Amino acid sequence: MNRSATVLLTALAPVSWGTTYAVTTEFLPADRPLFTGMMRALPAGLLLLALARVLPRGVWWVKAAVLGALNIGAFFPLLFLSAYRLPGGMAAVVGSVGPLIVVGLSAVLLGQRPTARSVLTGVVAAFGVSLVVLQAAGALDVVGVVAAFVSAASMSTGTVLTKRWGRPDGVGPLALTAWQLTAGGLLIAPLALLVEGAPPALDGRAVGGYLYLALANTAVAYWLWFRGIGRLTATQVTFLGPLSPLTAAVVGWAALGQSLTPMQLTGMAVAFGATVAGQLGVRPPAREPIAAPGGNRRKDSPSLSGGRAL
């Protein structure tokens, strides 16, 4: 599959995530961020684990737990917390710094020197997203801002580490996705019970909403996302992130009757242009790194830093 097709398939993940807000507000019980995070992650992880029928081996038990905590277990609750506490999409604005975090972490962990173009593109993408979702609606909540930033940093770190560690020999993206979703869901489950108490009563709409989140929005979307991480650079993948708030704005306009102002339309064009620019002029690795059964990258697999040993 050529790079353009890989980019388009990977882009379906943040597009799907952009529907999360509408589904949450229209179908799911209110004020249950931990329970909702668990219902997104754990059923999806167990389903993919049953399909893959592969368990981690050796050091990958630890690596899968770390990646699951960063990409799922910490990211989901913090993201919902920031969305509840910040007005007018501010969480999306703070979260849009993800590409810049990945650029910095890629320099440290992957040996990829940041370019002026990648930094500028990240700034432009964040600016475009701010035009779309930022509304002057009350004072900023410090806890919400911190939660939004830490959630972006958590997902960005997980993306770069997923790229650095690759995957074990004989293990495909499906199993790697299953491990992370299951680990993240198991991390959230006791917190949900402790903080939010017993699960709420669910009607047919809520069941349908959770089924959508677990299957299309999480199982399929995260499989596409981690598959893309293996075939593209970490920077390319994270520059697809702005598609999520852009999709949320479009869904709000099309399905929820929310209006789009000329400034928001301008911001959408700017953010989308930055997303496209983030895919250009970058040569992805020749093939996905494969770790040896013991957890280390095989000697015959290419370095992620363009030939330098990590």
38-50: pLDDT as tens digits: 999 999 999 999 9
Output the average pLDDT for the chain: 81
Residue with tokens 């990258």: 297
276 vs 67: which has the higher pLDDT: 67
pLDDT-based confidence at 293, cuts 50/70/90?
A: very low
Percent pLDDT > 90 in the chain is 38
Structure tokens belonging to residue 64:
């899968």
C-alpha span between 92 and 145 (Å, rounded): 10
DSSP state of 69: I
Query: Does the pLDDT value for residue 288 go beyond 60?
Result: no
Query: Does the pLDDT value for residue 301 go beyond 60?
Result: no
Lowest mean pLDDT among 16-30, 85-99, 102-116: 85-99
Q: In b/e form, how buried is each residue of 132-150, taking b as 16+ CB within 10 angstroms?
A: bbbeeeeeebeebbebbbb
Query: Does the pLDDT value for residue 212 go beyond 80?
Result: yes
297 vs 204: which has the higher pLDDT: 204
Q: What is the mean pLDDT of residues 46-57?
A: 95
Q: What are the CA-CA distances from residue 185 to residues 65, 69, 77, 85 (Å)?
A: 11, 9, 11, 23
Model confidence, pTM? 0.80
Q: What is the mean pLDDT of residues 19-27?
A: 84
pLDDT at 292: 45
